[in-house]
Each structure stands twice: as C-alpha cells, then as structure tokens.
Chains A and B, each alone.
Chain A
C-alpha cells in the first residue's frame, strides 16, 4: 500500500500562556488512516486537534495540509461544552449547517439538501427528531445529531474530540459503526479517546501524547507497557520557573 501523508505535523508546538501544551511534535497522518490520540488529562490532545482545525495558532513549527483545504475538507467535532444547548433551534436546522460549504452564508437550502438531512438523521438513529429543539435531546441523542452533521459535511478528514464521553454503550456502538463506515470510504479519521480496549479493537493507528510525542504507529506497537509507563509519568503541573525552550531552533 502506498501511503500519502494528508496532514503533517512539523515540529509543532502550541502554547497556553507560553507554557507548551503540545511540544515539538513531528509526524504525519496518512490518507485513509484511522488514528486514535491517547494520553492523560492535560496531555494536549484537544489542543492538537484545535491546532489542526486552525482554531489555535502554532507557537513553533507548523502543520502542512497536502492536497486538502483546511476549511472545506476538515470536519471537526469538538467536546460538547462549546455548544449552547439552550439555544432555540431545531435538530434539523442544526444538522443542515453541515452543508455550509455548499450553501455558504447566504445560499438557499435546497429540497435535495433537506432530504440529505433526513437521511443523515435516519443514519444516526434519530428518525423523527428533526423538529425537536436541541435543548430537549439527551446527551447521547445530541451527539448522534452532531454525527449527522458530520455526515453532511462531506469532508475527507474527520476529527473527533472525545466523541464517546458520557455516551451509553448502544449509542457508542452505533457511532463507532459510523466511524468504521467512514474508514471504509477511505476518509482520514483522527479521534481523541480514553478507552484502551476500544482503541485496540477499532483503531489501527495510535498517537500517544503526553505534551511531547511518546510514540506514533500501529496500535499494538504503541500501546505497550513501557510507553504507558512513560505516559503516566508526565508531570501534569506546569513548571512555574521553566526556562525558555531552545530545542530545534532554526
């Protein structure tokens, strides 16, 4: 199999308040790969995702996108807290925003697109939920709705930030099946996950992160005791008296 990198991290550093949250990470995501990002809390997993989507600017190094447009071809599912669930908008109106690249800020939603919304809702098991307000959905149902929006986005790269947190087993299984379907369609998928068994069962590639890259490769080679030990030894605390980092200066 010939591998082509889609997204390359080139000595990437992302900081908060000058403290590195992602520190000198190198490597690339291959086209059509299904990668789990694993690491302890505070390891920079979400930060890495946000940097890839372009919501955070790198403090050092960079990200290269090969043959894709960052806004058009990268779909991103953030952690739920960032969406205002009390907003009076229906499930269908939320899902249809997945067509943003086709309808843009001003275009009309065509009846074909509304049909795709209905199909997507049906694909995630939310038949008949279209007219409900998003505030009336449970956490699991809402996550299904956001997956329906991802379905409409037609992106070739999909980023999922802790997609199965606080989601019951049946919903997780359904959504995981969707991820597998995307993998079958040769989309590139990157997901932040915590469940090692799930990662071993369903994700061929793993990126182990503890602010610095610990290992990146086939899951069975990465999730080994030595690596996991190294991961647990990451200091969660920032060093208040840390010196200026001078590694790989160019």
Chain B
C-alpha cells in the first residue's frame, strides 16, 4: 500500500485544529511536556484534593520547599542529573514530613506549625547549598523547573509516579477518606490510622518530586492545589472532586503550554497561571457556592 500524499496547497490555513494541536504535532519537546502535564494531573490532582480536605493546603507548599536541600545535594554530587536530584529531593521531603509528623504527634506543637519550622530550615539549607556551589542558572532551573526540557527518563519518572500514586490511592482510598473526616473512629476500629497518614505523606512527597522536575520547587505545588481548590466549586463528593481536579489540571497544562509557545513565555509559570485563571473562574461561576450562583439563587424553595 502506498501512502496517499497530502495535497500541496502552498498556503498554510490557520485552522482551530492547527492552532491547538500544531505546536504539539510539530515539536517533540512540546509533546513530551504535554505528556508530563497529563501524568502530573493524574498524580497530583487527587493528592491535592485530599490535602485540601485535610486542611493541609499550605502544607503541600511547605513540603515542596522542603525538597530543595535534598535536590541540591543530589545536584552537588551528580550535577543536573535526574535521578540524583529526584532521590535527594524525595529523601529530604520525606524527612521533613516525618520530623514534622513526629513532633506534632508527640509534643504540643500543631502539625502546621511544626511543618513551618522544618521546611524553613530545609529551604534555607537548600538555597545555601545551591548558591555556594552552583551558578545562578542552576538555581533558576531548580526554582522554576524545565518542563520544555523533559527527556525520556524524566517522562518515565513522572509517569511512574503518577501510576504508582494512583494505584496506592485506589488501594487505600477508604481508610484514607475515613482518616480525613473521622480519625477517631478509624483509630477505634483499626490500629493503622497513622500508617495510612504516613503513606499519604509519602505520596505527597513523591508527587511533589515529580512535578518539581517539570515546574520547579516554587511552582511544583501549583498543579496540585489550584485544580483541587477549583474542583471544590464544581464537585459534590470526594471522588468527583478528584476527577474534576484532574481535568482542570490537564486543561491548565495544555492551555499553559500553548500560551507559553505562542507568546514566548516561560512555561512553568504559564501553566500555574492558567490554573489560577481556572481557580478565579471557579470562585466566580462555580456551581457549588460560587459567587454568581449565590447572587442569582435569591428565590428560595417551598420545602
């Protein structure tokens, strides 16, 4: 069979399809970035929803900063190598999460306060390490990520994290939800309440390390929390909230990448800003408690 040649028209019509898909068809690096965004959306979206429902939204942010010194040490040992920085970041993030967890469980300090203490120390150490041993360019890479430079191994990492994290989440969904809204009951019927909390923290760190590759430490939490906060305005129950968050995260990635390509903007911030636009739109128009819905629903029902 001979392939049918595409008709040569000489002019390139700027169709909608072309505007939306063109950059991704044309450039492999854009395709990779889009696949990375898909994986991040699937991994981080549900984790963000659980953080939000546990009132730990800012803890995600703190953890993403805590990843820095580990990544920096990995960087010092192996240069800008994916695995060194990933493993270092994972260890550092987990260490801060565990220390903060232990301190909040065994002293009178609350979890948010102990997280704040440890992540600040970790962040300072990380910036110190990077700035004394690397160039400013390196620092920028680590702080803002390089989603357009995602190579195959980084893609495998991000995809692997998303798969593992989704599978674990599915497996421990019920106890995790129960631990969120009625931890006392879980403790009275099962002895493993804190184990589930621990697994959840590991998942948070894993997903942060994955998105840290693409979006950098400062923005890593963007695809986690913004879609989750937006989804709260649309979905009624936890499961549908997670799906909504995934869709919003994916759309943010797609539109953000496209915008960064068309207007020559840095892609990480463009993606997170797109997420912010979804967030503001959700606040205004969201079906569940959005501003417009509240303003319009002035007539009450009969019973």
Show the binding face of A for B, using Cβ within 8 Å.
53-55, 71, 74, 76, 78, 82-84, 87-90, 93-94, 97, 100-101, 103, 105-106, 133
Q: Tell me, rounded to whole Å, the shortest Cβ–Cβ distance linking A150 to chain B.
A: 11
Q: Is the contact region of chain A dominated by helix, strand, or loop, or is it mixed?
A: mixed
A133 in complex: contacting residue of B178, B187, B190, B236, CB < 8 Å: B236
Show the binding face of B for A, using Cβ within 8 Å.
53, 171-172, 174-175, 177-178, 180-185, 187-192, 235-238, 241
A97 and B237 within 8 A (CB): no
A-B contact pairs, 16 of them (CB 8 A): A53-B188, A54-B187, A71-B188, A74-B188, A78-B185, A82-B183, A83-B182, A84-B181, A84-B182, A89-B177, A89-B237, A89-B238, A97-B185, A105-B190, A105-B192, A133-B237
Q: Is the contact region of chain B dominated by helix, strand, or loop, or is it mixed?
A: helix
A248 to B69, CA, bound (A): 53
- Chain A neighbourhood of B237, CB < 8 A: 88-90, 93, 133
A-B CB proximity, top 4 nearest: A87-B181, A84-B181, A105-B175, A100-B189
B172 and A83 within 8 A (CB): no
A78 and B238 within 8 A (CB): no
- Chain B neighbourhood of A55, CB < 8 A: 184, 187-188
- Chain A neighbourhood of B174, CB < 8 A: 97, 103, 105-106
Most chain-B CB neighbours within 10 Å: which of A97, A103, A106? Answer: A97
- Chain A neighbourhood of B180, CB < 8 A: 84, 87
- Chain A neighbourhood of B177, CB < 8 A: 89
Q: Tell me, rounded to whole Å, the shortest Cβ–Cβ distance linking A73 to chain B.
A: 11
- Chain B neighbourhood of A83, CB < 8 A: 181-182, 184-185
- Chain A neighbourhood of B191, CB < 8 A: 71
- Chain A neighbourhood of B171, CB < 8 A: 106
A88 and B175 within 8 A (CB): no
Q: Tell me, rounded to whole Å, the shortest Cβ–Cβ distance linking B9 to chain A.
A: 53
A89 to B176, CA, bound (A): 13
